[in-house]
Amino acid sequence: MVSYVVTRASRGLGLQFVKTLAVCDSMVFAFVRNADGSTDLRQLAEFNANVYIVYGDLDKPTTLKARNRGTFRAVPAVEEVAKVTGGSLDVLINNAAKIPGKNSGLGLSDYIGQEDVLVEEFNEFFKTNVIGAALLINAFLSLLEKGPTKKVVTISSFVGDVDFVVKSGHPASASYSASKSAVNMVNAKYAAEFREKGFVFLAVSPGFVKTWDNKNTSPEFTKHVDAVAQMFKKVTRPDWEALPSTPEKSVELVLDVIDKATPADSGKFVSQFGNQVWL
C-alpha cells in the first residue's frame, strides 16, 4: 500500500487529493492546522480506515512535535506517520501555501508609500511557501529515505514561471509569485542534493483551478478572475476557454504526473500535463 502525506488537506486541492487517494489502495495522512474545523475531512476519515488526520502548521515548525490542538491527539506528526507505516513514507505532497488575499490585484509599484506593507507581505509569503516547504521536507526525509518510492511533490504555480509572467503581462500578486519561483529553486536544490539516492523532487503547477465557493465571492472578485483569465489566455494554447478547471480534474492530472515521474525528472517544474503548457 502506497503511503502519502498531503498538507493543507482540509479544503480545496488538498482535500481533493485526500478524496481521490482515499478510494485507491493508498494510506493517506491528511495534514491540517485545525482538524476540528474541517467537517468534510473528518467525515472522510470516519468512513475510510486508510485516511489519517495529522496536525501540522508550516508557519509553526514546532507543530511537527507534540502539541495539543482542540480534540486532536498530542502526538508528533512525523512519529504518528511512522507508527502507522512502520517508519517509512512513499510520497510527500506539499500542497500547503499562503495564497493571495486582499492585495492580490496590486503590482509592486502600487506599494509606493506603504513599504512596510510590502515587506510584511513578502515575509509572510516566503515564511510559509518557501521556508515552510523546506522545513516540512526536512522533517520527513528520514521516512522518505526508507520508502521505495521517495517522491516529494511541491504544488507550485505557473505564475512562478518568469517567462509566463512577462509574456502574459501579469504584474499582480508579486509576493505570491516570487515565493513560488523561490520554492521551485528549493525543489531544484533538493534534487541536486539527493540525485544519487533515487529521490524524485518535483514542482507541479495544478493549473488555473476553481477552489473558491461562488456563495462567498463578490461580483468584483468574479470580474477580477475573468480579467486575469483573459490576460493568461494571451500566452496559452489557442483552444483554452479561459475558464478555471475543477479540483477533481486538476488532481487527477497531477496524480498521473506524480505516478509517471522517475528520478530522471527530479528537479523539474512542470504543469498538470507533465510539461510546461501551463493552462
Q: Give dist(CA 267, CA 245) in Å, integer.
A: 26
Q: C-alpha angle with apex 172: 99 to 221, nearest 5 degrees?
A: 65
Backbone angles phi, psi at 265, to 5 degrees: -90, -5
Q: Give dist(CA 159, CA 220) in Å, integer.
A: 21
Tens-digit pLDDT profile for residues 210-238: 887 655 566 666 777 788 888 888 888 77
Taking alpha carbons only, the member of 261, 252, 271, 212 closest to residue 91 is 261
- Residues forming beta bridges with residue 154, ordered by sequence position: 94, 203
**Can you give the pTM of this predicted structure?**
0.91
Asked whether 154 and 187 are in contact (CB, 8 A), the reply is yes
Cell numbers representing residue 279 in the block = 493552462
Catalytic option among 157, 173, 181, 266: 157
Q: So what's the pLDDT on residue 62?
A: 60
Cα-trace Rg, the chain:
18
Q: C-alpha angle with apex 101: 97 to 102, nearest 5 degrees?
A: 170
Cell numbers representing residue 175 in the block = 509576493
Q: Catalytic site residue 150?
A: no
Q: So what's the pLDDT on residue 71?
A: 42
Catalytic option among 52, 55, 111, 176: 176
Q: Catalytic site residue 52?
A: no
In a 10 Å sphere around its CB, with 0-12 CB exposed, 13-18 middle and 19+ buried, how is residue 171 labelled? middle
Tens-digit pLDDT profile for residues 189-210: 999 999 999 999 999 999 999 8
Taking alpha carbons only, the member of 88, 61, 87, 64 closest to residue 75 is 64
Q: C-alpha angle with apex 219: 213 to 224, nearest 5 degrees?
A: 90
Helices and strands (DSSP H and E) totals, the chain? 9, 7
Q: Catalytic site residue 157?
A: yes
Q: So what's the pLDDT on residue 68?
A: 41
Q: So what's the pLDDT on residue 74?
A: 45
Long-range contacts, stretch 21-25, CB < 8 angstroms, 24+ apart = 21/255, 22/48, 22/50, 22/51, 23/48, 25/1
Cα–Cα distance list, 75 to 3, 61, 120, 180 (Å): 19, 14, 32, 31
Residue ranges of the chain whose pLDDT lies below 50 = 66-74
Residue 47 CB neighbours (<10 A): 8
Taking alpha carbons only, the member of 123, 62, 68, 135 closest to residue 96 is 135
Ordered strands of the 151-155 beta sheet:
51-55, 26-32, 2-6, 91-94, 151-155, 200-204, 269-270
Catalytic option among 19, 150, 180, 268: 180
Q: So what's the pLDDT on residue 79?
A: 87
Q: So what's the pLDDT on residue 216?
A: 58
**How many CA atoms lie within 13 Å of 44's alpha carbon, on the beta-carbon side?**
25
